Amino acid sequence: MSSIPGAAWIKSKASQLGVVPSKSLGQNFMTDPHFLSHIASLAPTDSNRVLEVGPGLGSLTLPLLERGFEVKAVELDSRLASALPETIKELFPESLGRFSCLHKDALKLEPEDLKWGEEFSLVSNLPYSVSVPVVLHLLSHFPRLSSFLVLVQKEVGERMCAEKGSKIYGAPTLKLAWYGKAKIVEKVPRTVFWPSPHVDSVLVEFKREATPQELREKTFFLIDKAFSARRKTLKNSLSFLDKSLLEEAGIDLSLRPENLSVKDFKSIAALLS
């Protein structure tokens, strides 16, 4: 493969397919070949298997294939899902044996859809409106998802990686922290997109860690209850729990939920078992 398609090719392909970028589907196509190649170079290498959610016209798919990954793409737009295999065949035919595309909502994706028994990574320019729900769904349903590198709206990325005690630290932060460690890798310029979004973007990297899965449901329940009234102290937001139980877990009842780590919520959940 000699090159990655740029803006002219992307816009021409979209026109051929009658595709106008949809705001409701979060379609902002990436068009800068150099930056796309850069993202592919940052893709996790703990596995050669990559899941890509929302591949669109294949601008990131191609550099991922170029780097030797086996790529399974999941696309909600039926026109794009049908066209993508043809694009791969046209531009990088020797990689067809390492590529497949599934027309499905990523929020409904199940292990039997991928048929991967080994570890894999997620590398995606995620639809911004559903980026956190998609990530949490995949982590919940795919224990073999070991890492990800995703492009998300800047504010969302900051919430995903927020520190305890900050105003943007919340339930999504803690639920992601349950599974492992996330960090912002770098800011992404608006100029690499078509159409150019009205928000800034960042790349977020995540590495999965071992967690006691039997406590997840209770821990997430406690997180949701606490943050449903985040302005209240834990004495009030978790008032349905016995005060002595919280004290046994070493929790200061005068604190607010944003002052607790995921380890603190795990400790409470463990005492409920």
Residues 29-41 have pLDDT tens digits of: 999 999 999 999 9
- Average confidence score pLDDT of the chain: 93
Q: With both helix axes pointing from N to C terminus, report the angle between 262-272 and 216-227 in degrees, rounded to the nearest 10.
A: 120
Summarised one tens digit per residue, pLDDT across range 168-178 is 999 999 999 99
> Domain map of the chain by residue range?
7-211, 214-272
202 close to 188: Cβ distance less than 8 angstroms: yes
Average pLDDT on 136-146 reads 97
Q: What is the DSSP string of 50-103?
A: EEEE--TTSTTHHHHHHTT-EEEEEESSHHHHHHHHHHHHHH-GGGGGGEEEEE
Predicted pLDDT of residue 20: 84
Residue 126, pLDDT above cutoff 50? yes
Read off φ and ψ for residue 71, nearest 5 degrees: -120, 125
Average pLDDT over residues 126-151: 95
The whole-number average pLDDT for the span 64-93 is 96
- Looking at residue 197, what is its pLDDT? 84
Distance CA 242, CA 66 (A): 57
Per-residue pLDDT averaged across 197-220, rounded? 93
- Cα–Cα distance, 146 to 165 (Å, whole number): 27
Is residue 124 over pLDDT 90?
A: yes
Do residues 42 and 203 make contact, with C-beta atoms less than 8 angstroms apart?
Answer: yes
Cβ atoms of residues 193 and 31 within 8 Å: yes
Residue 55 has pLDDT above 60, yes or no: yes
Which of the listed ranges 17-21, 63-67, 212-216 does the model predict with the highest average pLDDT? 63-67
Residue 3: its pLDDT value, please? 61
CATH topology of domain 214-272: Helicase, Ruva Protein; domain 3 (1.10.8)
The DSSP bridge partners found for residue 30 are 193
Check: CB of residue 122 under 8 Å from CB of residue 50.
yes
pLDDT recorded at residue 129: 86
| pLDDT category of residue 1 using cuts at 50, 70 and 90 | very low
Architecture of domain 7-211: 3-Layer(aba) Sandwich (3.40)
- Range scoring the smallest mean pLDDT among 96-100, 126-130, 134-138, 150-154: 126-130
- With 70 as the cut, is the pLDDT of residue 167 above it? yes
pLDDT at 199 over 60: yes
In percent, how much of the chain has pLDDT > 70?
A: 97
